[in-house]
Amino acid sequence: MHRVYFDHNATTPVDREVFEAMLPYFSDEFGNPSSIHSPGQHARKAVEHAREQVAALLGARPMDISFTSGGTESDNLAILGVVGADERPRGSTSLTTGKHVITTQIEHSAVLETCRALQSHGVEVTFLSVSSDGLVDPEEVRRALRPETVLITVMHANNELGCIQPLEEIGRIAAEAGVYFHTDAVQSAGKIPVSVEQLGVDLLAISGHKFYGPKGVGALYVRKGTHLQPVMFGGKHGRDHRPGTENVAGIVGLGKAAEVALKTMETEGPRLAALRDRLEKDLLAAIPNARVNSSRAPRTPNTANLTFSFIEGEALVIALDLKGLACSTGAACSSGAVEPSHVLTAIGLPAAEARASIRFSFGRLNTEEDVDFALSVVPDAVLHLRKLSPLYKESVAAQ
């Protein structure tokens, strides 16, 4: 069966150059980078080279890059670390009570669940609303500031919509207020230019498997002078931010993936945007009662999120997979019940419309022929599911 993969926001295949760069560190170059003998120092040299490669992707200093197991750990370390390290008097001896964090309603669960955990320990959290295109208003961030605010955390690009937040404006607001600013850049790093200086962030999280690196490795940029309490304890590895023997092969892969992304981004971005735009345009022309979500916002070039009214998105994902097309829905299945995406309800979609939404996310290996294939199977699948939908039958009868 011919298969097309349009789910690169979920994960990407490991690039061939990345794979080949990693191979020696599974076998011949097996040293522990904390060892002072030659095998250990060969591994240390590889880790430090990868740190330079990641720093170059982010416009950062190598010394400000700490390696982690991925985006979730990086986000947790940033948020918990800043809140735990803040020692300004709050009238309480608690490490958390009396502190305030600002975030948005459409963050990844790695941020939302961390903030909710902080709430259960006495931290006040403001979850800002977003526009119908998924954008937070920087002035809403300014209005949410309090004397006890210790952190602002706003993602760079949304994983479901691809919309890019106005981080530069928010960064200026955070700097004026003297508040730390963190961003989850898991969906932007490697796809669009990212500069920690231009964005004005103090902490920035990335994950290797989102841009053709291996799973299980990521990084956290921590601006010099940022007070960060570790969330794990052990040896003096990882700039004192993250103990434990480094995942040398994974880190080498992350570094190589960063190097390749930096080299190809200028041409790859426009190419993917053209594929995305063609898919959106032709699907809207072929399928009535369809819409593109976040279409007026700046977006990552590879992400399209469409609503096909009167269907269940999970059913469409399964139907398309059976035809050879892999895509995804933002809905999460829990205890057999499909909940609407928190991102799509936050932009104002009713629950039924949120459940009827599908994300197509393009990648390096996708071609015009892949778009042709999608256009040949998606309209028929939507029509078939609508014929089974009581809501669709009622809509047709009412016309």
3-state DSSP assignment of residue 73: helix
Q: What is the pLDDT of residue 332?
A: 55
The pLDDT of residue 143 is 98
Catalytic residue among 115, 163, 327, 333: 333
As a whole number, mean pLDDT of residues 176-193 equals 98
- SS3 label, residue 115: helix
Query: What is the reported pLDDT for 394?
Result: 63
pLDDT digits (tens, 9 = 90+) for 283-316: 999 999 999 999 999 999 999 999 999 999 999 9
Do residues 399 and 289 make contact, with C-beta atoms less than 8 angstroms apart?
Answer: no
pLDDT band for position 91 (50/70/90)? very low
Taking the whole predicted model, whether its pTM rises above 0.85 is answered as yes
Q: 234: pLDDT confidence band, cut at 50, 70 and 90?
A: confident
Instruction: Answer yes or no: 163 catalytic.
Output: no
Report the CATH superfamily, name and number, of domain 4-9+265-398.
Aspartate Aminotransferase, domain 1 (3.90.1150.10)
Q: How far is it, in rounded angstroms, from Cα 79 to Cα 288?
A: 43
3-state SS assignment for residue 190: coil
Select the CATH number that applies to the domain covering 16-261 from these four: 3.40.640.10, 2.40.50.180, 3.10.20.600, 3.30.10.20. Answer: 3.40.640.10
Q: What integer pLDDT is reported at residue 1 of this predicted model?
A: 81
Q: Give per-residue pLDDT as tens, 98-136.
A: 899 999 999 999 999 999 999 999 999 999 999 999 999
**What does the domain layout of the chain look like in residue ranges?**
4-9+265-398, 16-261
235: number of CA atoms within 13 Å, CB side?
8
Q: In this structure, what is the dihedral angle of CA atoms 312, 316, 322, 328, given to the nearest 10 degrees?
A: -110
Q: Do domains 4-9+265-398 and 16-261 have the same CATH topology?
A: no
pLDDT tens readout for residues 200-232: 999 999 999 999 999 999 999 999 999 999 888
